[in-house]
A and B are shown apart, each in its own frame.
Chain A
Amino acid sequence: MGQTMAEKVLARCSGRADVVAGEYVTARPDKLMCHEAFAPCALTLRRMGVERLADPDSVYVIIDHFFPAPTAAHAKSHSIVRDLVERYGITHDLGHSGICHQVMVEGGHVGPGELVLGTDSHSTTYGALGAAGAGIGVTEMTYALALGELWFQVPPTVRFSLSGAAGPAIMAKDVVLRLAGQFGTDVAQYAAIEFSGSLCAQMGLASRMTMANMGAELGAKFAMFPTEAFGPDQDAEFAAVHSVDVTGLEPQVAQPHNPGNVVGVSAVAGVRVDQAFLGSCTNARVEDLAVAAQVLAGRRVHPRTRLIVTPASQAVYLEALRAGHIEALAAAGAAITAPGCGACPGGHSGVIGPGEVCVSSTNRNFRGRMGSAEGFVYLASPAVVAMAALTGELSDPRELVSEPWL
């Protein structure tokens, strides 16, 4: 019987010829990615007297959630990370060069068919390259760092077949928000996603990363795009196949307080916006900054609204700077922050206050996610975020963006 991408990865990593959805295996991941959570993991191992990791060369460590450190306590935790990286001989020290998932992908640290575990739920992003990326917690990472293995249930696979002609201003974010709205945020719970169909062929790496990233918001363990190097067997069995035609899709917005609470932008047009945030592992790549620059070049951010732009990585920052996007956004009045996770999880550099409305290019709008529990977060594409910054309210970016942006 043919195998899905997830079955192939877990078969290889558990030393088996094949595995079937539903069975349990012990697998050896190819890569382990840790952000600041490396500190609690490694401190636990230190206390236990574990002096060597199973494979320090497979471990990638980066500081992204609280960089630059907003408090002395965070600065101290970063020192601890630095110390432990040295102590455990981590060869892939990624410093503080951006958001973990962006840096892993742009640095060439992830390959098709690999099993990559990260201490971050959006590790699904690696599926953009055909990898099986999954988030785990610190206890499981501690175990995996020490022993180089972890238990898995082989997930069933839900396939999304995406087709149609994307309209003006439509971005991958609109497509994945549509999936969350139409099928629910648990459509792929305990399952892997495989994206397929003619629309995928039109999607560049940035778009694929957005889709795979928000596989986490569809409940998925992995969210994978087939590549030339790695894909499912022709006769692979899927638990479900959902076909979606994006022709005529309007820009989508997830209303507070759930990523599945999705409507077309016209349904919420006019909602007053206090903060527009362009950042996160979901949507802060060069393409995302470019569309925002197109909307805002030669114009000004609305006086009642603040626009905060947090590039996904130092490399993105530099490329966007050289392309003129950063200048266009700064000239329009955007606050450009250091690359990192920033305001997305409510850490620093743009948290919102009680009663405030933020439209955000990020992945989650849970209550309190970006600061005050009395705040309101709307999720949308970078085009919608930029348009809101310009007009001070939720509004349709198709007025200024005439092409699809995949």
Chain B
Amino acid sequence: MAVIRVGSGSEAPSLMRRGRVWKFGHDVDTDVMAPWDTISAPFEERRARVLHIRPEFVEGMRPGDVVVAGRNWGCGSSREQAAENLKLLGVGAVVAESFGRIYFRNSVAIGFPNLACPGAWAACEDGDEVEVDVEGAVVRNLTWGIELRGTAWTEDMLAIVRAGGLLQVLRQRLGLG
């Protein structure tokens, strides 16, 4: 389950995630995260076909679970529903060898933690318990006692996610609260 850090005196959402691993391969594209004929539908209608290349995923995953993927996760389209679908399903974080660039930016913009962490794919198997510390850029496989360092987010990117996404930053900048 997702670990929510509280009592720090801040309302900022924690960027620490803990859950079971769901492993995916290389080059998983945005079309299979958000098929085109679903993208205008409400999330409840989109839900069933998210990542349909692994049909047991949507029903089997529990909120907070972590996707561990290979190279180029989220290659393809600019459709924001790809990252949004994962966030709304309750995926805690995605850890991948590398990301498609628009998908990655969209994830930052909607406040969904994704961490590039070369080596994590080989170090994790389905069902392993992992902890993902986005701020520290660390992935810990708690099942095997392995710790890996990922690519650190910049302070500006972290600030967007801590604010709750880019639209919240926009509201603040426009003085809309």
Contact = CB atoms under 8 A, between A and B. Distances in A.
Interface in B16-57: 27, 29, 31-32, 35-37, 40, 52-53
B80 interface: yes
A373 B78 contact: no
Contacts of B36: 345-347, 368-369
Nearest to B27: A258
Contact of B72 (A136, A219, A221, A364): A219
Given A44-B167, A73-B40, A140 B176 contact: no
A375 B115 CA distance: 32
A313 interface: no
A10 to B, nearest CB: 15
A136 B100 CA distance: 12
B77 to A, nearest CB: 5
Interface stretch (A160-168, A183-191, A319-327): A183-191
Nearest to A260: B27
Interface in B130-145: none
Q: Is the interface of A mostly helix, strand, loop or mixed?
A: loop
Interface stretch (B1-9, B61-69, B103-111, B118-126): B103-111
A142 B167 contact: yes
Contact of A138 (B80, B157, B169, B174): B80
A136 to B, nearest CB: 6
Nearest to B71: A186
A298 interface: no
B73 to A, nearest CB: 10
Q: How large is the interface on B (under 10, 10 to 19, 20 to 34, 35 or more residues)?
A: 35 or more
A49 interface: yes
B88 interface: no
Contacts of A151: 156-157
Contacts of A88: none
Contact of A135 (B29, B102, B157, B166): B102
B32 A368 contact: yes
Interface in A182-228: 185-186, 189-190, 219, 221
B90 interface: no
A48 B106 contact: no
Contacts of B154: 24
B40 A366 contact: no
A137 interface: yes
A119 B170 contact: no
A140 B106 contact: yes
A366 B173 contact: no
A260 to B, nearest CB: 7
Nearest to A26: B156
A146 interface: yes
Given A77-B40, A366-B32, A136 B105 contact: yes
A121 B102 contact: yes
Contacts of B156: 24, 151
Among B27, B78, B166, B170, chain A packs the most CB atoms within 10 A around the CB of B78
Contacts of A77: 40
Interface string B161-176: 0000111011101101
B75 interface: yes
A135 B78 contact: yes
B79 interface: yes
Nearest to A44: B167
Given A364-B76, A366-B76, A219 B32 contact: no
B101 interface: yes
Interface in A129-150: 135-140, 142-143, 146-147
Interface of B: 27, 29, 31-32, 35-37, 40, 52-53, 71-72, 75-80, 83, 98-102, 105-106, 109-110, 154, 156-157, 165-167, 169-171, 173-174, 176
24 contacts: A44-B167, A48-B167, A48-B174, A49-B176, A121-B77, A137-B78, A137-B79, A142-B170, A143-B166, A147-B173, A186-B72, A186-B98, A189-B99, A219-B100, A345-B77, A347-B36, A364-B29, A364-B77, A366-B31, A366-B32, A366-B76, A367-B32, A367-B53, A369-B36
Name the 4 nearest CB pairs between A and B, nearest first.
Answer: A137-B80, A137-B106, A139-B109, A366-B31
